[in-house]
């Protein structure tokens, strides 16, 4: 069942469309989430950097720690760390922090770095920038705020609430007291909330959208392929009934399916014509073979019973006629099967003189014109044309071979009654004889001209009939000249 499902064009199209849309949605969703996270993180970094730089500027101006405005904000963690990693100032409600490089959250918290004690910290705090601050008349300490800002991600606990923050670090260097780093954090709650909301929406929306795409693709392909199924059913019915007269339905969509149906009907019409022609050919061949075989059998039976009454000449004539007919049928079968033509070069004029030699009343005027192909088959064409002309001529047959541009032309004319214009194409059909009243012994089976045209066409040429100057039939064979 699974193999049958995947063998359906509709199912494969649905699966392919769904996979393509799924990949596109995943790529677009990932891009949206990354862009959203980047934008919100950048916004948090901008806020944190602004806050850290404001505190750093105040610190560089010599303002005491307890008067730094950035330390009074309740929702923003701020730390000032000296170059030995000790916290010298921090936000009032800051209880715990990670991501700033300091081991403690506030000055004087237990668990500080080894190598320092409370007295050292107190001294450093008073010396660096004590809570009392310098005298108003004292000159501002010489310092420099670093123009670079570093960022890190961590957590902070403010007034019992822990959250994620993006920290900005700005360095302030004093000539007399060394380097201090100001850390200020901006909350990442908005970034986490927005990314989580977007992710949830995608997890809910993407499957629904894929289901809609799969359903729509299934319905659309079903409707688009329904004419194909109709064509398949009709072809199956034609195969079962062997009725080649039936045709598949042609949808009114004017698309590839409609063109497929039209081509299928054209193929059925050609197949019907071919089968009908084959049936007619077999019937005509059977009819033509029956006469000489019956005549030959009769003569042999009479000869067996009464040897003195055996018509030996008649038996030989019927045998030759039967042999000729069999050879014609075999040649037609090879032509219908698409027998490969040779590529030999030969002189058409010399071939015409060769086949006209010894025939009474035949005059040949032939130039040297090279052609390529099967010499034997082209010779058979000339023989058939000469036999046909001699059969209908009153006294004379003329043969001319000439070059005419890219064509080699053979003209065979007689002085007989000619071919009526209405029958000039019909005579090239198989087993067609215009003079049905004449004796079969005088004429052939009606295959000579059909063979001649087939050979001409397969050599890339033509064979036509018109009116000769003497009033009889003029057959013109045109073959491509050899380059």
Is residue 108 a contact partner of residue 121, using CB atoms and an 8 Å limit?
yes
pLDDT, average across residues 294-308: 80
Q: What is the pLDDT of residue 115?
A: 34
C-alpha span between 281 and 351 (Å, rounded): 31
Q: What is the pLDDT of residue 436?
A: 47
Q: What is the pLDDT of residue 23?
A: 93
Is residue 463 a contact partner of residue 381, using CB atoms and an 8 Å limit?
yes
pLDDT, average across residues 421-444: 69
Whether the per-residue pLDDT at 182 is higher than 90: the answer is yes
Whether the per-residue pLDDT at 97 is higher than 80: the answer is yes
Q: What is the pLDDT of residue 126?
A: 45
Query: Within 13 Å, how many C-alpha atoms sit on residue 77's CB side?
Result: 33
134-141 CB contacts, 8 Å cutoff, 24+ apart: 134/62, 134/64, 140/61, 140/62, 141/62, 141/174, 141/175, 141/176, 141/177
- pLDDT tens digits along 406-424: 999 999 999 998 899 888 8
Q: Six-digit token pair at 52?
A: 């850290």
**Please, what sign has the CA dihedral across residues 11, 250, 265, 462?**
negative
Whether the per-residue pLDDT at 333 is higher than 50: the answer is yes
- pLDDT tens digits along 258-294: 888 899 999 999 888 878 877 877 777 776 777 778 8
Query: Within 13 Å, how many C-alpha atoms sit on residue 20's CB side?
Result: 9
Mark 146-184 as b/e (b = at least 16 C-beta within 10 Å).
beebebbebbbbbeeeeebbbbbbbbbbbeebeebbbbb
- pLDDT tens digits along 114-158: 333 434 444 444 444 444 444 445 555 677 888 899 999 999 998
Whether the per-residue pLDDT at 66 is higher than 90: the answer is no
Nearest partner of 29 among 284, 204, 157, 263, judged by Cα? 204
- The H-assigned helical ranges of 311-393 are 312-336, 348-356, 375-392
Q: What is the pLDDT of residue 123?
A: 46
Q: What is the pLDDT of residue 7?
A: 58
Question: How confident is the prediction for the chain on average, in pLDDT?
Answer: 83
Q: Determine if the pTM surpasses 0.85.
A: no
% of the chain with per-residue pLDDT over 90: 36
Helices (H) and strands (E) in the chain, counts: 9, 14
pLDDT, average across residues 33-57: 91
- pLDDT tens digits along 356-393: 998 999 999 999 999 999 998 999 999 999 999 998 89
Whether the per-residue pLDDT at 84 is higher than 90: the answer is no
Sheet containing 462-467: order of strands? 362-366, 397-404, 407-414, 473-480, 462-467
Distances in Å between the alpha carbon of 105 and those of 108, 383, 414, 479?
9, 117, 125, 105
Give the residue extent of every domain in the chain: 37-193, 256-336, 344-480
CATH number of 256-336: 1.10.287.130
Is residue 167 a contact partner of residue 105, using CB atoms and an 8 Å limit?
no
- How wide is the angle at C-alpha 327 spanned by C-alphas 476 and 391, nearest 5°? 45
- The region of weakest confidence among 93-107, 256-270, 325-339 is 325-339
Which helix (H) or strand (E) segment holds residue 467: the answer is strand 462-467
Q: What is the pLDDT of residue 102?
A: 83
Q: Six-digit token pair at 205?
A: 């929306």
CATH number of 344-480: 3.30.565.10
Q: What is the pLDDT of residue 444?
A: 62
- pLDDT tens digits along 186-241: 999 888 889 899 999 999 999 999 999 999 988 888 888 888 888 888 899 988 88
Task: Decide if 256-336 and 344-480 have a common fold.
Answer: no
Cβ within 8 Å of residue 187, ≥6 positions away: 44, 75, 163, 164, 165
Cβ within 8 Å of residue 222, ≥6 positions away: 10
pLDDT, average across residues 160-175: 91
Rounded (to 5) percent helix, strand, coil in the chain: 50, 20, 30
pLDDT, average across residues 97-106: 86
Distances in Å between the alpha carbon of 266 and those of 253, 261, 262?
18, 9, 6
Which helix (H) or strand (E) segment holds residue 36: the answer is helix 9-60
Query: Within 13 Å, how many C-alpha atoms sit on residue 183's CB side?
Result: 31
C-alpha span between 241 and 5 (Å, rounded): 29
Residue 405 phi, psi dihedral angles, 5° rounding: 65, -125
């Amino acid at each position: 069942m699974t193999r049958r499902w995947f063998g359906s064009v509709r199912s494969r199209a649905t699966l392919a469309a769904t996979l393509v849309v799924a990949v596109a949605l995943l790529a677009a969703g990932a891009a949206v989430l990354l862009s959203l996270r980047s934008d919100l993180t950048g916004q948090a970094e901008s806020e944190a950097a602004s806050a850290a730089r404001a505190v750093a500027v105040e610190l560089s101006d010599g303002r005491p720690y307890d008067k730094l405005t950035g330390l009074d904000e309740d929702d923003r963690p701020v730390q000032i760390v000296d170059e030995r990693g000790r916290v010298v100032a921090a936000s009032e409600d800051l209880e715990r922090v990670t991501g700033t490089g300091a081991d403690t959250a506030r000055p004087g918290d237990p668990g500080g770095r080894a190598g320092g004690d409370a007295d050292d910290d107190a001294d450093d705090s008073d010396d660096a920038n004590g809570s009392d601050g310098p005298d108003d008349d004292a000159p501002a300490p010489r310092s420099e705020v670093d123009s670079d800002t570093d960022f890190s991600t961590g957590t902070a606990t403010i007034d019992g609430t822990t959250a994620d923050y993006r920290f900005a670090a700005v360095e302030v260097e004093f000539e007399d007291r060394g380097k201090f780093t100001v850390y200020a954090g901006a909350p990442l709650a908005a970034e986490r909330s927005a990314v989580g909301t977007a992710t949830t929406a995608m997890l809910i929306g993407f499957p629904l959208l894929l289901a809609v795409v799969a359903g729509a693709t299934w319905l659309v392909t079903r409707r688009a392929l329904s004419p194909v199924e109709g064509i398949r059913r009709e072809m199956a019915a034609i195969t079962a009934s062997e009725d080649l007269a039936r045709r598949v339905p042609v949808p009114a969509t004017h698309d590839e399916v409609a063109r497929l149906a039209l081509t299928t009907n054209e193929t059925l019409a050609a197949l019907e014509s071919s089968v009908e022609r084959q049936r007619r050919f077999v019937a005509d061949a059977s009819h033509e073979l029956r006469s000489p075989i019956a005549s030959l059998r009769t003569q042999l039976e009479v000869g067996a019973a009464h040897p003195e009454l055996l018509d030996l000449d008649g038996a030989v004539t019927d045998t030759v006629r039967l042999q000729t007919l069999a050879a014609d049928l075999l040649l037609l079968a090879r032509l219908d099967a698409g027998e490969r033509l040779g590529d030999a070069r030969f002189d058409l004029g010399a071939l015409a003189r060769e086949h006209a030699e010894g025939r009474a009343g035949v005059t040949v005027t032939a130039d040297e014109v090279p052609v390529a192909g099967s010499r034997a088959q082209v010779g058979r064409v000339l023989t058939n044309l000469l036999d046909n002309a001699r059969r209908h001529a009153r006294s004379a047959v003329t043969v001319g071979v000439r070059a005419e541009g890219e064509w080699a032309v053979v003209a065979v004319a007689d002085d007989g009654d000619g071919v009526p214009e209405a029958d000039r194409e019909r005579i090239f059909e198989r087993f067609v004889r215009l003079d049905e009243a004449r004796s079969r012994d005088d004429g052939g089976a009606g295959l000579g001209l059909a063979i001649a045209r087939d050979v001409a066409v397969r050599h890339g040429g033509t064979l036509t009939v018109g009116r000769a100057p003497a009033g009889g039939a003029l057959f013109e064979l045109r073959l491509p000249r050899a380059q």
